[in-house]
């Protein structure tokens, strides 16, 4: 019984790290921007074809090396430059936090606004204006971003990370519950038909090479692939934990959450006349419009934005942790100093990112940072890691890691070939086509 419980908690921590702004904020905005249903189908194909083998591969690398990102590469190929792949993963985590922390701050601000009833009697276009005015302001979003990053850093310094697991345990069922309630509300909206057609009916003429590249990046981002977080989780996993089942839990939950958010956002957008391609404000403007119109909207709004903030926080903690662990282990800096340095630098970057949505609009830092990290760095790291695991790890190691309670895993060879050839070739091809044709 105890074994079962341990497996459950390990998966839960992982699920807490995987489910975050990627599902709740970025997924609907990407679907909206890239043509709806066709993007969804391509995204799902990448989740199955690349996400599953890569997630299992990162678990295997972590558990067999008992090391986190940089150390895992060093332990199998000492003295070779492969560890730089791990280094690039840590750099990517820091850069991603540069905009993740900012959007985390937006969720805090919206939690504050909804709890002070600031949206009352506002229609959807006024809501859109509130959002645009807020993100373009030179001070307000930076203040909320700093607050978000300070909370994240305090969790790491105060060693209450064990409590994060407890928060996740309460947060996840509540998030599911509120998503189900909002789905039921969305399903009776007048423009449900238009919303569902946009989200579910693929029109492949609307997706570009850049859209396919974006779908691949979104799959990696949402499943936390390519940043070493999964390698680190793998290193903590017990030898009797079934890696295949753990990956299935994480991928299944992550995908269901993203899908249900789409079921909510698009009917709301069409009903209240919000452009589904309106960009990073989509989740904020659609949902605050919905909360304004439905009975019980005040309580649902406060709850939703609180959960959005907590989901962002649990993920930001794992991102910052991987940067801090790297500074701590590789640069031999004390942990508290590592937290301080990482937080100050990342918050500085986040502030520049924020200004690029207002007074420094011409620099486009927000969109460039998002594109470079999610659509280029993550796929490149995923491609290298995939090839590395398939190439360097002996078949025997993969076989052993995938064998549970004496039940032999019969497809180790296929998994190895997938990681060695199939995944890197697909990733490389999508990247190339996206970069050339975009
Ligand atoms: N998967 C997270 C999300 O969907 O919000 C984002 C993320 C977390 C990406 C951790 C990468 C990572 F290492």
3-state secondary structure 189-256: CCCHHHHHHHHHCCCHHHCCHHHHHHHHHHHHHHCCCCCCHHHHHHHHCCCCCCHHHHHHHHHHHHHH
Cα-to-centroid distance, 316 and ligand 1 (Å)? 8
What pLDDT score was predicted for residue 164? 75
What pLDDT score was predicted for residue 4? 44
The minimum-distance atom of ligand 1 relative to the CA of 221 is 9
What pLDDT score was predicted for residue 410? 85
Q: d(Cα 349, Cα 95) in Å, to the nearest integer?
A: 8
In tens, the pLDDT along 399-416 reads 999 987 777 888 999 999
Q: Which two tokens stand for residue 354?
A: 């924020």
Cα-to-centroid distance, 16 and ligand 1 (Å)? 10
Whether ligand 1 lies within 6 angstroms of the CB of 318 is answered as yes
Residue from 96, 106, 171, 228 whose mutation best tests the ligand 1 pocket (most atoms within 8 A of CB): 96
Distances (CA, A) of 138 to 65, 276, 351: 46, 26, 9
Cα-to-centroid distance, 218 and ligand 1 (Å)? 10
Q: Which two tokens stand for residue 308?
A: 């959005």
Give the three-state DSSP class for 414: helix
What pLDDT score was predicted for residue 8? 44
203 in Cβ contact with 36 (< 8 Å) = yes
What pLDDT score was predicted for residue 161? 62
In tens, the pLDDT along 213-222 reads 999 999 999 9
Q: Which two tokens stand for residue 342?
A: 């990482």
| Segments of the chain with pLDDT less than 50 | 1-9
Q: d(Cα 389, Cα 144) in Å, to the nearest integer?
A: 40
The minimum-distance atom of ligand 1 relative to the CA of 27 is 4
Whether ligand 1 lies within 6 angstroms of the CB of 15 is answered as no
Architecture per CATH, 2-437:
Up-down Bundle (1.20)
Q: Which residue puts its alpha carbon closest to atom 10 of ligand 1?
A: 224
Buried b (16+ CB within 10 A) or exposed e, 9-48: ebbbbbbbbbbbbbbbbbbbbbbbbbbbbbbbbbbbbbbe
The minimum-distance atom of ligand 1 relative to the CA of 311 is 5
Whether ligand 1 lies within 6 angstroms of the CB of 226 is answered as no
Q: d(Cα 256, Cα 259) in Å, to the nearest integer?
A: 5
**At a CB cut-off of 8 Å and minimum separation 6, what does 93 contact?**
227, 228, 229, 319, 320, 322, 323
Domain range list for the chain: 2-437
């Amino acid at each position: 019984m105890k074994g079962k419980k341990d497996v459950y908690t390990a998966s839960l921590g992982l699920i807490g790290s995987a489910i975050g702004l990627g599902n709740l904020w970025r997924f609907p905005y990407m679907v909206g921007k890239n043509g709806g249903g066709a993007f969804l189908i391509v995204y799902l194909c990448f989740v199955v074809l690349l996400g599953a083998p890569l997630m299992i591969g990162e678990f295997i690398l972590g558990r067999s090396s008992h090391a986190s990102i940089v150390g895992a590469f060093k332990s199998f190929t000492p003295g070779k430059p492969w560890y730089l792949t791990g280094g690039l993963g840590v750099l990517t985590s820091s850069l991603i936090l540069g905009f993740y922390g900012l959007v985390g701050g937006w969720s805090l601000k919206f939690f504050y606004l909804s709890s002070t009833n600031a949206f009352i009697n506002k229609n959807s276009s006024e809501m859109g204006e509130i959002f645009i005015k807020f993100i373009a302001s030179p001070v307000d979003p930076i203040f909320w971003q700093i607050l978000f990053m300070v909370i994240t850093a305090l969790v790491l310094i105060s060693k209450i990370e064990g409590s994060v697991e407890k928060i996740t345990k309460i947060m996840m069922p509540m998030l599911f519950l509120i998503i189900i309630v909002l789905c039921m509300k969305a399903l009776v909206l007048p423009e449900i038909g238009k919303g569902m057609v946009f989200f579910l009916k693929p029109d492949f003429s609307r997706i570009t090479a850049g859209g396919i590249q974006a779908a691949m990046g979104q799959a990696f981002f949402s499943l936390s692939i390519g940043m070493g977080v999964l390698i680190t989780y793998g290193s903590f996993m017990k030898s009797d934990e079934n890696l295949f089942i753990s990956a299935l839990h994480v991928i299944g939950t992550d995908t269901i959450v993203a899908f249900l958010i789409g079921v909510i956002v698009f009917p709301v957008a069409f009903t209240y006349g919000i452009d589904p391609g309106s960009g990073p404000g989509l989740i904020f403007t659609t949902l605050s419009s919905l909360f304004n119109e439905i009975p019980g909207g005040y309580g649902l709004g406060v709850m939703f934005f609180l959960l959005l903030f907590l989901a962002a926080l649990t993920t930001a903690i794992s991102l910052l942790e991987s940067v801090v662990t790297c500074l701590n282990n590789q640069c031999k800096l004390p942990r508290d100093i590592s937290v301080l340095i990482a937080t100050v630098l990342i918050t500085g970057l986040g502030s520049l990112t924020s200004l690029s949505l207002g007074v420094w609009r011409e620099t486009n830092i927000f969109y460039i940072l998002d594109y470079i990290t999610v659509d280029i760095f993550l796929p490149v790291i995923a491609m290298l890691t995939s090839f590395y695991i398939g190439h360097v790890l002996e078949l025997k190691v993969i076989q052993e890691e995938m064998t549970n309670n004496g039940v032999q895993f019969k497809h180790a060879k296929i998994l190895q070939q997938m990681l060695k050839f199939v995944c890197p070739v697909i990733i490389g091809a999508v990247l190339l086509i996206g970069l050339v044709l975009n």
